[in-house]
């Protein structure tokens, strides 16, 4: 007899058990409630986008991580002969669609496509999965959820202030100690100009964004490989090593950055820090001049959040993008947003045991099933409990009491409600506390009150 292959799922993807889903929903529900508090509205976009929408928006490294979807049916029919020699060009011949890499580019496409229906500034939040053909490892998945909040159609730095407040509120609610790192892409452009390497702006940002992961020596080696001169690399070192308070770092930068772009970046951060100082948030906020956010579409403030008590990558990130909708034909519409990585947040909360008991609560009460008239009595009491807001269920078969008790025990149900002949004829219920073993006979309203507590 041929062996049956055990089913599996693709690497970098996961199944979620009921317990995991209850905890994940706890995260989603808390984040959603804070997004709504700040006036953001929900939207959704398709899992697939036209490949032309996605390509060229994330830089060369991001484009390599796009999952491409083969054309339906005979995918070679429109490819022509022969197929292009390069993998990227061949993919374009047989793939018209791709799974979304993030929620920001699809959002920009949405804004351009529906601009006549929207009122600007438009504030939206979006909680959906994204896909990246990355190498799976701890804290890094090929399918994962992002919780995005963005506002487009406004240049005001008050939008950045609100995003920082949202970060503060979310992690205060979830009880995670974090550090918010802030930088500005205009400052990075000014640094590239100051060291005489303006034409290597992208190379510099991609390299220094990896500083925490690969170390300073490897960053410098990568910069040299990209063609930066030894003098430019040497002039970059003291800038990356600047220390002091956020204000002191900006003051030290001022004589270094002489270009209009660099000075504008300093002014924007000074304004942002002025607002944040006035708010006196308990959040730990750090100006990190090595923070680059490798995505090419950022043009102003950039953000990244790290958990203080767990070694894991960033759990939130974002920034301002002035030109993103322009690539889809809608010029002059600035936007800024931030994305919470739900999966990494889940991993942090699990490791630190931060989920409250009521975040994992499921069924509160199991009603017994003795069949016949007793079964009818049980389902009537069950309906009343559910109407009162209690999560309750009935054992579906008239099985032995031991089996029904074992079911409640295995599923962590705290109360078993006995509804047998004695209870039915006296219009009562016997409620057993599974933790203490204590049981009491009471009326249906009393049972609802006791279980509801």
- In this structure, of 61-65, 245-249, 267-271, 359-363, the range with the lowest mean pLDDT score is 359-363
Number of domains the chain contains: 2
State whether 30 and 154 are in the same domain: yes
For 182, how many CA atoms within 13 A lie in the half-sphere containing its CB?
28
Distance CA 254, CA 262 (A): 9
State whether 167 and 261 are in the same domain: yes
* Residues near 438 by beta carbon (within 8 Å), at least 6 away in sequence: 432
**What letter would DSSP give residue 303?**
E
Beta bridge partners of 336: 151, 320
State whether 300 and 334 are in the same domain: yes
| Domain CATH for 315 | 3.30.930.10
Angle between helices 18-37 and 342-351 in degrees, nearest 10 = 120
Q: State which of 329, 351, 373 marks the end of a domain.
A: 351
Distance CA 408, CA 393 (A): 10
- What pLDDT does 381 receive? 97
Between residues 361 and 274, which one has the greater pLDDT? 274
State whether 292 and 224 are in the same domain: yes
3-state secondary structure of 358: helix
State whether 287 and 173 are in the same domain: yes
- pLDDT tens per residue across span 254-278: 988 889 999 999 999 999 999 999 9
State whether 205 and 272 are in the same domain: yes
- What pLDDT does 38 receive? 97
Q: State which of 306, 330, 351 marks the end of a domain.
A: 351
Q: What percent of the chain has pLDDT over 70?
A: 93
- pLDDT tens per residue across span 131-180: 999 888 776 789 999 999 999 999 999 999 999 999 999 999 999 999 99
- CA atoms 141, 147, 149, 150: torsion sign: positive
Q: What is the pTM of this model?
A: 0.85
State whether 215 and 151 are in the same domain: yes
Distance CA 394, CA 381 (A): 10
Closest Cα partner for 93 from 78, 109, 107, 108? 78
Range of the domain at 389: 362-452
Beta bridge partners of 124: 41, 150
- What pLDDT does 79 receive? 61
Instruction: Tell me whether the omega of the peptide bond preceding residue 121 falls within 30 degrees of 0, making it cis.
Output: yes
Query: And the tokens for 17?
Result: 């058990």
- What pLDDT does 331 receive? 87
Helices (H), 75-182: 87-94, 104-113, 158-174
State whether 165 and 40 are in the same domain: yes
User: What mean pLDDT, rounded, does the chain reach?
Assistant: 89
- pLDDT tens per residue across span 108-132: 999 999 999 999 999 999 999 999 9
- What pLDDT does 313 receive? 85
Q: Is the pLDDT of residue 85 over 60?
A: no
Are 319 and 334 in contact by the 8 Å Cβ rule? The answer is no
Q: Is the pLDDT of residue 222 over 90?
A: no
């Amino acid at each position: 007899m041929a062996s049956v292959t055990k089913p599996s799922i693709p690497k970098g993807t996961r199944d979620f058990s009921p317990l995991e889903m209850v905890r994940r929903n706890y995260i989603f529900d808390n984040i959603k409630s804070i997004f709504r508090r700040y006036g953001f509205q929900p939207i959704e976009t398709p899992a697939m986008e036209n490949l032309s929408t996605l390509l060229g928006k994330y830089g060369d490294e991001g484009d390599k991580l796009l999952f491409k979807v083969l054309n339906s049916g005979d995918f070679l029919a429109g490819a022509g002969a022969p197929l292009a020699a390069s993998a990227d060009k061949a993919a374009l011949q047989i793939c018209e669609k791709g799974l979304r890499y993030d929620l920001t580019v699809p959002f920009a496409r949405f804004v351009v496509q529906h601009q006549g229906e929207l009122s600007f500034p438009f504030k939206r939040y979006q909680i959906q999965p994204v896909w990246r053909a990355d190498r799976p490892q701890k804290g890094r998945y090929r399918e994962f959820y992002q919780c995005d909040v963005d506002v487009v159609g406004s240049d005001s730095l008050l939008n950045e202030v609100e995003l920082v407040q949202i970060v503060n509120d979310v992690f205060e609610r979830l009880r995670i100690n974090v550090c918010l790192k802030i930088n500005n892409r205009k400052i990075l452009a000014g640094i590239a100009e100051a060291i005489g390497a303006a034409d290597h702006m992208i190379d510099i940002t991609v390299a220094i964004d990896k500083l925490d992961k690969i170390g300073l020596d490897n960053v410098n080696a990568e910069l040299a490989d990209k063609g930066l001169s030894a003098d430019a690399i040497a002039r970059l070192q003291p800038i990356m090593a600047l220390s002091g308070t956020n204000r002191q770092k900006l003051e030290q930068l001022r004589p270094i950055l002489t270009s209009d772009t660099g000075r504008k970046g300093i002014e924007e951060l000074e304004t942002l820090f002025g607002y944040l100082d006035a708010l006196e948030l308990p959040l730990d906020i750090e100006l990190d001049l090595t923070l680059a956010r490798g995505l090419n579409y950022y043009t102003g403030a950039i953000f990244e959040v790290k958990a203080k008590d767990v070694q894991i990558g960033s759990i939130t990130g974002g920034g301002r993008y002035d030109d993103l909708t322009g690539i889809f034909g809608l010029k002059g519409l600035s936007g800024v947003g931030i994305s919470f990585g739900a999966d990494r947040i889940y991993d942090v909360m699990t490791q630190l045991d931060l989920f409250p008991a009521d975040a994992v609560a499921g069924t509160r009460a199991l009603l017994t099933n003795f069949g016949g008239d007793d079964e009818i009595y049980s389902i009537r009491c069950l309906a009343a409990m559910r109407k009162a807001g209690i999560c309750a269920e009935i054992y579906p078969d008239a099985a032995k009491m031991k089996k029904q008790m074992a079911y409640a025990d295995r599923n962590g149900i705290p109360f078993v409600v006995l509804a047998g002949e004695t209870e039915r004829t006296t219009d009562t219920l016997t409620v057993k506390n599974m933790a203490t073993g204590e049981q009491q006979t009471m009326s249906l309203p009393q049972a609802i009150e006791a279980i509801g507590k």
